[in-house]
């Protein structure tokens, strides 16, 4: 849409030239991907529109909500704030790559279902993808550490409480333990 607070005059710079597309290669969910992209193509749109990975979602336009979170070279990254050209050579994991090849769900995916960590499902791909990296950073996080660890992911439905339980449940599962609801 046109900008807020500024008169609707053309903001396109005087030297309009369509910049050439750029070749990018990357790994997405274990698959090699090659594409020709416009420099300004945001990674989230590249994933959703061109790679048909519609798991990561768009929930805002100011890089706050985290619904677009992917795992990028071992880091949780908001794919709406990266250009696809910056992903050249990268190793990307999205929610679609979390289950095993035979369809077995990742412990986090099971845990979110087990603990009712989702309602509308819109924040869920980004949330689980972030939780995935969080548990790699810290395999046994406290509740406070989880809250801080997912503070880049907004949810409007759950109030976070069951998301935290889900992450703790998954942490327990991944460590080979049984989840016990912690006495608060």
Site for another protein in 145-184 (CB under 8 A): 146-164, 184
**Contact by Cβ (8 Å): 21, 36:** yes
Length of the chain: 184
Q: Which of 23, 25, 31, 99 binds another protein (CB under 8 A)?
A: 99
Between CA 6 and CA 165 the distance in angstroms is: 45
Q: Is 141 in the site for another protein (CB under 8 A)?
A: no
Q: Does 18 bind another protein (CB under 8 A)?
A: yes
Query: Using the rule CB under 8 A, is 92 a contact of another protein?
Result: no
Angle between helices 107-114 and 161-174 (to 10 degrees): 140
Tokens 């509308």 correspond to 120
Integer Cα distance of 3 and 131 in angstroms: 34
Residues 27 to 66: which contact another protein by CB under 8 A?
38-42, 45, 48-49, 52-66
Query: Going residue by residue from 109 to 138, which x/- string records binding to another protein, judged by CB under 8 A?
Result: x--xxx-x-xxxxxxxx--x-x---x----
Cβ nearer to another protein, comparing 34 with 144: 144
């Amino acid at each position: 849409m046109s900008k807020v607070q500024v008169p609707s005059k053309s903001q396109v710079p005087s030297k309009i030239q369509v910049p050439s597309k750029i070749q990018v290669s990357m790994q997405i969910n274990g698959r090699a991907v090659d594409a020709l992209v416009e420099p300004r193509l945001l990674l989230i749109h590249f994933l959703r529109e061109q790679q048909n990975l519609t798991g990561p979602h768009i929930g805002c336009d100011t890089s706050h909500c985290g619904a677009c979170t992917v795992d990028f070279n071992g880091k949780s990254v908001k794919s709406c704030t990266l250009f696809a050209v910056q992903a050249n050579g990268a190793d990307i994991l999205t929610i679609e790559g979390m289950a095993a090849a035979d369809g077995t769900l990742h412990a986090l995916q099971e845990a979110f279902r087990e603990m009712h960590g989702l309602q509308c499902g819109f924040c869920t791909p980004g949330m689980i993808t972030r939780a995935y990296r969080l548990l790699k950073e810290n395999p046994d996080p406290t509740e406070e550490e989880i809250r801080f660890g997912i503070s880049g992911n907004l949810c409007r439905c759950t109030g976070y409480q069951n998301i935290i339980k889900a992450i703790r449940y998954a942490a327990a599962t991944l460590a080979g333990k049984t989840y016990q609801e912690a006495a608060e």
